Amino acid sequence: MPYLFTSESVSEGHPDKVSDQISDTLVDHFLAFDPSSKVACETLVTTGQVVLAGEVKSSTYLDVQTLARDVIRKIGYTKSEYMFEANSCGVLSAIHEQSPEINQGVERQTDEEQGAGDQGMMFGYATNETENYMPLALDLSHRILRKLAEMRRGNGRMDYLRPDAKSQVTIEYDDTHRPVRIDSIVVSTQHDDFGADEEMLARIRQDVIELVIPAVRDQLKPDLQALFTDNITYHVNPTGKFVIGGPHGDTGLTGRKIIVDTYGGKGAHGGGAFSGKDPSKVDRSAAYATRHIAKNLVAAGVADEVLVQVSYAIGVAHPTNVYVNTYGSAKVDLPDSVIARRVAELFDLRPYAIEQRLKLRNPIYLDTAAYGHMGREPETKTITFRNGSGEEKTLTVETFTWEKLDYVDKIRGAFGLK
């Protein structure tokens, strides 16, 4: 039977994403000046206020107020009428030293035996329904909001937009789990108060349907472009005007958009958030490692769709399990349990090995904190960081290393594929 599946995304100006970005800019700056830093930072944002809390073990000092304001400014909260503005909001820090009892479980006599920073299970997922091996509904939801942000900042056609926004896409799938059409698209975007309600809503609806959606469609391959028919149901700001938004409209917290950050409800999620955490926290690093494995398995032709799970005990280096589910889509004549054993042989899933393989001790995390941690393009970037003493450090780093298809040949060799 055909069925519908929905995923959503939120913009960089959504309150929870503001929090994620502030937390991750702190992680980046700690790692830039002290790569061995242990960081677990949470952020709360609300009307005119930012509250930072968490635990840190690091040799460097940061001006966290300035860093938080820089993030808020870059997102676009730069006007007092937003009731949350980069220069005037209060920033309260309650960050303190990491518990030595947690740290003793992570650090070991040799780097290779570094223990997991927490217990828990982590999942990675990949599907061949898109070029970036991501679920289509989530990929389109992210694309819509990135294009909306470009138009807010860029060409003037939608300069009435404010930073807060959400999108949602519903896809119809056939009996073989292939997308056949887009059923509905929802876009809710904050905006200036620029006229009568009906006039504003009509303008926003027209611009979303006639400017944003065609620009997103044109980014796609022809087979996916064909899913954009004249029968899509659009809900644009369905509750009416959306002037009050951002942290003034809703309080934001770090780690509250974990499904947006991953696979939009496809696959599975272990429950642990990513932002604000250094890579000794396997909630983050092992989730990236399992995405790397799943993506390379699909790209190598082992299966059309793959879910990979690992789990850990706090303070223990080796995972307590490795699990693979191909959803019956395997192209190799092997049960999933055997595929899982070969994955465990190919990939060292101890925390230190993951950090080294994916270069996770680099300051690469701010880019992950909006529009998804998965499905992004790896990139080499040069970034300058400043600590609380005014010292600057410029580093060249690789971002989204877990998205690289660098194990395809090894996997094909292990599974006898050409």
pLDDT digits (tens, 9 = 90+) for 7-18: 999 999 999 999
Angle in degrees, CA 7, 28, 384, rounded to 5: 115
DSSP 407: S
- Please state which of the ranges 146-155, 223-232, 323-332 shows the lowest mean pLDDT: 146-155
16-110 to CATH, choices 3.20.20.70, 3.10.310.30, 3.30.160.110, 3.30.300.10 = 3.30.300.10
Three-state secondary-structure class, residue 398? strand
What single-letter amino acid sits at 172?
E
For residue 108, what pLDDT band results from cuts at 50, 70 and 90? Answer: low
Structure-token pair, residue 60: 């460097």
User: In the structure, what pLDDT confidence band is assigned to residue 101 with cuts at 50, 70 and 90?
Assistant: low
What predicted TM-score, i.e. pTM, was given to this entire model? 0.96
pLDDT at site 111: 77
10 Å CB burial of residue 181 (0-12, 13-18, 19+) is middle
What is the CB neighbour count within 10 angstroms for residue 381?
11
Per the annotation, where are the binding residues for Mg(2+)? 16
The pLDDT value given to residue 321: 97
Alpha-carbon distance of 3 to 305, in angstroms, equals 18
Average pLDDT, the chain: 96
- DSSP character for 174? -
Buried b (16+ CB within 10 A) or exposed e, 96-135: eebeeebeebbeeeeeeebbbbbbbbbbbbbbebbeebbb
The residue-averaged pLDDT of 351-373 equals 98
Q: What is the pLDDT of residue 359?
A: 98
Q: State residue 103's pLDDT score.
A: 59
Show Cβ contacts of residue 81 under 8 Å, excluding neighbours closer than 6 positions. none
The Cα 36–Cα 352 span in angstroms is 12
At a CB cut-off of 8 Å and minimum separation 6, what does 189 contact? 11, 148, 161, 162, 164, 165, 166, 204, 208, 236, 237, 242
**CB 39 within 8 Å of CB 56:** yes
Coil, helix or strand at residue 22: helix
Q: Output the known binding site for K(+).
A: 42
Give the Cα separation of 157 and 153 in Å (integer).
Answer: 10
Per-residue pLDDT band at 113 (split at 50, 70, 90): confident
Q: Which CATH class is domain 3-11+135-246?
A: alpha beta
CA 140, 145, 150: angle at the middle one, nearest 5?
A: 125
Closest Cα partner for 267 from 5, 1, 4? 5
Any idea what DSSP says for residue 209?
I
Provide the annotated binding site for L-methionine: 55, 98, 250, 281
342 has pLDDT over 80: yes
Phi, psi of 311 (to 5 degrees): -140, 160
DSSP 320-344: SEEEEE-TT-BSSSS-HHHHHHHHH
The residues, ordered by sequence, that sit 6+ positions from 408 with a Cβ below 8 Å of its Cβ are: 296, 299, 300
Going by the annotation, the residues of the binding site are 14, 16, 42, 55, 98, 164-166, 241-242, 250, 256-257, 273, 277, 281
Per-residue DSSP letter, 114: P
> What pLDDT score was predicted for residue 100?
65
Please give the annotated binding residues for ATP, written as ranges.
Answer: 14, 164-166, 241-242, 250, 256-257, 273, 277
**Cα diameter, the chain:** 67
Q: Are 292 and 271 in contact (CB under 8 A)?
A: no
Per cent of the chain over pLDDT 70 is 97
Residues sharing a CB contact under 8 Å with residue 356, sequence separation 6 or more, in sequence order: none
Pick the CATH number of 120-127+257-272+279-415 from 3.40.50.300, 2.40.10.10, 3.30.300.10, 3.30.70.1560: 3.30.300.10
Ranges in the chain annotated CATH 3.30.300.10:
3-11+135-246, 16-110, 120-127+257-272+279-415
Give per-residue burial for 318-330: e unless 16+ CB within 10 Å, then b. Answer: bbeebbbbbeeeb
d(Cα 402, Cα 292) in Å, to the nearest integer?
A: 5
